[in-house]
Amino acid sequence: MFLKILRDLRHTLALRLTIWYGTIFAVSSLLAFSLVYALMVAIVQERSDEDLAEDIDEFAALFREGGVERVKAEMALETQGEEASAVFLRLWTADGREFAATDMTSWSGVGVPRAELLSLSEDGDPVLETLTLPEREHRVRAVYGAIGPGVVLEIAESLEDDEEFLEALLKGFVVVLAVVILLGAPIGWFMARRALRGVEDVTRTATEIADGALDQRVSAGSGGNELDRLAQAFNTMLDRIQALILGMREMTDNLAHDLRSPVARIRASAEMALAGAGGEAEWETLASDTTEECDRLLEMINTTLDIAEAESGAANLKITDVDLVDVINDACDLFQTIAEDKDIKVVTDMPEHCRFQGDLQRLQRVTANLLDNALKYTPAGGQVSIALANTEQQIKLSIVDTGAGISTEELPRIFQRFYRCDWSRSEYGNGLGLSLALAFVRAHGGDITVRSAPGEGSAFTVLLPRSRKLR
C-alpha cells in the first residue's frame, strides 16, 4: 500500500513542484551564504591590512621622534610574552641587511624579503603579502614600508585568529544551510499544495460535472490572481456549456413538437391515398401537399441549424463592404406587394449611404425577418417605419410598427426558438424568425432590443458596433 502511494505520488505535479521549490530554495540559500561568506572574508582581510598599514605609519612617526632606538624599544613592547609567537618585526637596510629584529624563535623558515620590498621609498605606499611557512599551521600576513631614509620595517602577524573566526563562521553557515535544505522539502510541499489547491478544485468540479452534476461551480476568490481568474473563466465556460445544453434540450423538445404536426399530416395523406383509389387529381393534390409539408420541414431544420451555428460561434461570416441602405431598400421592394395588399404604409428615414463590414446574406435575412414580422402583425391601414442612424460608434436600425404589440409577460420570451405569442399562432410561421435575427446580429458583435406594449405596436432596434469582436 505504501509503495503504491509512493508510485502514485511520483507522477504528481505536486511532487515535481516540491522538487523544484526545494532545489531552487537550496541553490538560492547556497548562493546567499557563499556571497555573505565571501564578503566576510574580504572584510576581515581588509581590516587586517588596514591595521598593518597603520602600524607602519605609527613606527614612521616614532622613527622621526626618536630614531632607530625608539623604534627598537617599541618593537620589544609589541612582542612581549605570548605576542612573540603571533607577531614579529624586523628592520632592514636598502642593501638587504637586517639590523634589528624581535624574538624569531617561533618563526623558523622566514627568509629574506625580496629586493624590491627593501627598496621602498618613504613617500610610497606599504606593500602587503601573505606568507605560508612550512612549520606553522596558519598563514602569515606581512607588510613592508619605509619608515626613514634607507630603513624598511617588516611587520608580520599570524592570521590564526582571523582564520579560526572564518572557519567557525563557515561551519555555522554549513549547519544553517543543512537545516534550510531539510526544511526546503516540507516548505516546498506546502507551497506546491497551496499553489495547486485551485487546480484541484477545478479538477474535482470537472469530475463532478462529468458525472452529471451540471450545476457545480468552482469557488473563486476575490484576490484576482491567476487561479482566481482560472476559476472565473472555468465557471463562465460552465455557464455557457450549461446554457447550450439547456438550449439544445429546449430546441430538441420544440423541434420534436413542431415536427410532429407536418409528419402526421404527411402520414395521414399517405394513408388516405393507400386506402382509396382516387384519380389523377387526388394524387396531384397529395403530391403537392406532401411537397409543401416537406419544404416546411426543411426550412425549419435549416433555420434551426443556422441559429445553432451562429450561437455557437461556428458561423463562417463572409465579411464584405455592405451598404445597409441598399439592404433595406431591397427588403422594402421585396415586401412591397404584401404592404400594398394590406394597405400598410412603409416609411423610411435613412442617409444616402451607410457602409458596414459584415456578411451581406445574413444581414439581408435579419432585415427581411424583422420587416416580415412588422408587416405580418400590423393590421390593414397601419404603418411601418424604418429608420437608420449612422454614428462613429455604432449603426442603429429601428423598425417600428403600429401592430397588436406584445404583453409584458411575453416580451422576454419572443427571441426563444419556436416561441410564438398566443395571438400570433393564427399566422403562418414557426417561431424561429426573431431567434435567427438575434443570432446573426450577435454574430456581428451587435444586439437587438425591443420595446412594445399591447395595442401600441412594437419597436425593434438593431445595434451594430463599428469596432466589434466577431464571434
Domain boundary among 260, 278, 309: 309
Q: Of 5-9, 54-58, 411-415, where does mean pLDDT reach its minimum? A: 5-9
Residues in a beta bridge with 142: 129, 156
Q: What is the pLDDT of residue 427?
A: 54
Residue 11 pLDDT > 60: no
Residue 44: inside a domain: yes
End position of a domain, from candidates 134, 165, 196: 165
3-state secondary structure 137-157: CCCEEEEEEEEECCEEEEEEE
104 with 40, same domain? Answer: yes
Torsion of CA 431, 436, 437, 441, to 10 degrees: 150
Eight-class DSSP state of 427: S
Assign 83 a pLDDT band (cuts: 50, 70, 90).
Answer: confident
pLDDT in tens, 395-439: 999 999 998 888 888 887 887 766 666 544 445 556 677 888 888
Q: Give DSSP secondary structure letters for 227-246.
A: HHHHHHHHHHHHHHHHHHHH
Domain final residue pick, 309, 330, 354: 309
Residue 174 lies in a domain: no
Q: What are phi and psi of 144, to 5 degrees?
A: -125, 130
For the question of whether the overall pTM of this predicted structure is more than 0.75, the answer is no
Do both 323 and 436 map to the same domain?
yes
Expressed as residue numbers, the domain containing 272 is 239-309
Residue 49 and residue 58: Cα distance in Å, rounded? 14
CATH code of the domain covering residue 405 = 3.30.565.10
pLDDT value of residue 295: 73
Place of cell 521549490: 21
pLDDT of residue 2: 43
Tell me what pLDDT residue 110 has.
87
Kindly report the CA angle at 125 between 120 and 126, in degrees rounded to 5? 75
SS3 44: helix
Query: CB-side exposure of 219: number of CA atoms within 13 Å?
Result: 4
pLDDT digits (tens, 9 = 90+) for 306-320: 777 776 666 778 889
Judged by average pLDDT, the poorest of 5-14, 76-85, 360-369 is 5-14
Question: Taking a C-beta distance cutoff of 8 angstroms, is the pair 327, 386 a contact?
Answer: no
Instruction: Count up the domains in the chain and report the number.
Output: 3
CATH number at residue 68: 3.30.450
Q: Is residue 157 domain-shared with residue 259, that is, in the same domain? A: no
The CATH code of the domain that includes 294 is 1.10.287
